[in-house]
Amino acid sequence: MNLFLENIEKVAKAIKPIAKAKKVIVFSHYDADGIASAAIFAKMLLRLGSNFQIKILNQLTKKTASQLNFSNRLLVFLDFGSGQLDSLAHLLDNNIVLIIDHHKPKNLSHLNLFHLNPHLFNAEEASSSVYTYYFAKYLDVKNVDLAYLALVGYFGDNIFLTTQEKILEKVLNECVELKQIEVKKGLKIFGRFSKPLYKALAQSYECFIPGITGSEEASVQFLSEIGIPLKKRENFVRLADLSEEEEKILASEIIKLRINEDRPEDIFGNIYLIKKAPEELKDIRELATLLNALGRKQYYDIAIKLAWLDSKVLNKAMQIYSEYKKELSSYIDFALKNVKHMENVYVIDAQDKIPHYAIGIITSILSKTNYSDKPVIGLANYDEETVKVSIRFSGNLDVIKVLKPIAESMDGEAGGHSNAAGAFIPLEKKTNFIKTINKAIGDANGKGSQEQKMVHSGFRPSLPQ
């Protein structure tokens, strides 16, 4: 067993009696990884008979962290906390603090601090849900039934993780052995069970299909040309309704269209299905997407119950999801009309036209379509004095290394990963921030900076229905 897992086990054993004896407050992040981690931890505490509360936050900012005021508690931070450790230091004398996180950590030691972060142990980085799962399992082996949630959080955070980690293989093997997950080969297209195939193809932003992504008409025509029916017995065909043979034909035709992409065959691969889940929640990636939407719309209790596969909340969850997608569609419209082409970056300065909880997703979507050649930076109002910043880039540049010093030099804060990071900066520094980061990225690429004339690329994707 690796050193990090050994430490998780030791800490779980040490925390177990404390979690029974003290009131526990669990803080977690509102994205899929945070919700999956909170769902694992909450179920573990329920089984332990703990007295606990769950608080989901859109981000643990320095300000929120420094204002926390507790004593004689077990305070747990999931999927954040490592980067804000200096702002949590005031809690350490009078509480026990446990952090399970995978973001770049600050280093601090204290007798009352249990800090589980792979970067501190030189271990490979996976999602917080993976480590939270091992924590729960080592605390009590009956929590192995939550293994699928480790994967849900992992796939929810997939864009931030770059490699196929060994620990992922380990958790996946456990899920298969425990008969929780079935692994199949198939098209990695969102909506296998939940959307008509023609819509799923038109909305395939994760794996771009040239000529199809963004156009339902093109998608319908493509299916007819390759002989895949639009409807079977009056119902629109879903990916789940295709025979193995039909799915293979579809995959090879899509790979042909993607021939000029970096990895055209990436669209075909492993599909992970949760055996005991209702159809709508079977595909791990879809459950992760739902959790993300529910978290961002602040339906935290529904999100946690959905993570536990409680079908009683399914209808409500689907309804919230469908409204959320409509919202996203209008934000995409705004972003495409207002994207500013600078020499080294694309900028969407949304102000209050895109809410802060959606700016990261919109920035991600743009960076996967026609705006993948330079980093995309999204900015949205956070509160009256603060702007939320998101940056995405899959090329050869560590965006957090560029973003963090700039945000901090402007009295802001930043965190994240090499291909996806976020920050909060004071509103009055926004113009200067955009100029500075454009220049810094140019310098990192060995170019200067000069704003170019704005040109719109003309590509216009339609969004998820």
Q: Note the residues at the interface with ligand C5P (CB under 6 A).
A: 59, 83, 103, 160, 360, 390, 413-416, 420-424
Q: How far is the CB of 80 from ligand C5P (least distance, A)?
A: 6
Pairing of strands 346-351, 376-381: parallel
Q: Please, which residue, 23 or 353, has the CB nearer to ligand C5P? A: 353
In the complex, minimum distance from the CB of residue 416 to ligand C5P, in angstroms, rounded to a whole number: 3
Q: How far is the CB of 102 from ligand C5P (least distance, A)?
A: 9
Residue placing its CB nearer to ligand C5P in the complex, 307 or 399: 399
Residue 273 forms beta bridges with which residues? 182, 283
Is there a contact between 119 and 4 (Cβ–Cβ < 8 Å)? no
Q: Which residue is nearest to ligand C5P (CB)?
A: 415
Give dist(CA 193, CA 203) in Å, integer.
Answer: 14
Candidates 371, 350, 188, 150; CA nearest to 264 is 188
The DSSP output letter for 228 is: -
> Minimum Å distance from CB 124 to ligand C5P?
17
State the pairing for strand pair 113-116/181-187: unpaired
Min. distance of Cβ 213 from ligand C5P in angstroms? 22
The single residue listed with the structure tokens 């420094």 is 66
Nearest approach, Cβ of residue 462 and ligand C5P (Å):
23
Q: Which residues of 126-135 are buried (b: 16+ CB within 10 A; e: fewer)?
A: bbbbbbbbbb
- If the CB atoms of residues 187 and 421 are measured against ligand C5P, the closer one turns out to be 421
CB of 60 to ligand C5P, least distance (A): 8
In sequence order, the 6+-apart residues with CB closer than 8 A to the CB of 348 are 335, 338, 339, 340, 354, 359, 362, 363, 366, 376, 377, 378, 379
Q: What is the separation of C-alpha 384 from the centre of its chain, rounded to a whole number of angstroms? A: 26
β-bridge pairing 346-351 and 340-341: antiparallel
Residue 209 CB-half CA count within 13 A? 28
Task: Work out how close the CB of 412 gets to ligand C5P at its nearest, in angstroms, rounded to a whole number.
Answer: 8
> How far apart are alpha carbons 426 and 210 in whole angstroms?
39
CB of 103 to ligand C5P, least distance (A): 5
| Nearest Cα residue to 55 out of 73, 33, 76 | 76
What is the C-alpha separation between 349 and 345, in angstroms, rounded? 12
Q: How far is the CB of 424 from ligand C5P (least distance, A)?
A: 6
Contact 134, 5 (CB under 8 A): yes
Strand locations in 210-267, DSSP E? 231-232, 235-236
The residue behind tokens 């809410």 is 355
Of 160 and 324, the one with the shorter C-beta distance to ligand C5P is: 160
**322: Cβ–Cβ under 8 A, 6 or more apart, which residues?**
none
3-class state of residue 226 by DSSP: coil
Our CB check for ligand C5P shows the closer of 416 and 442 to be 416
Nearer to ligand C5P, 82 or 344 (CB): 82
d(CA 367, CA 374): 8
Q: Least distance in Å: CB of 88 to ligand C5P?
A: 14
Contacts of 150 (CB under 8 A, 6+ apart): 36, 40, 127, 129, 130, 132, 133, 134, 171, 175
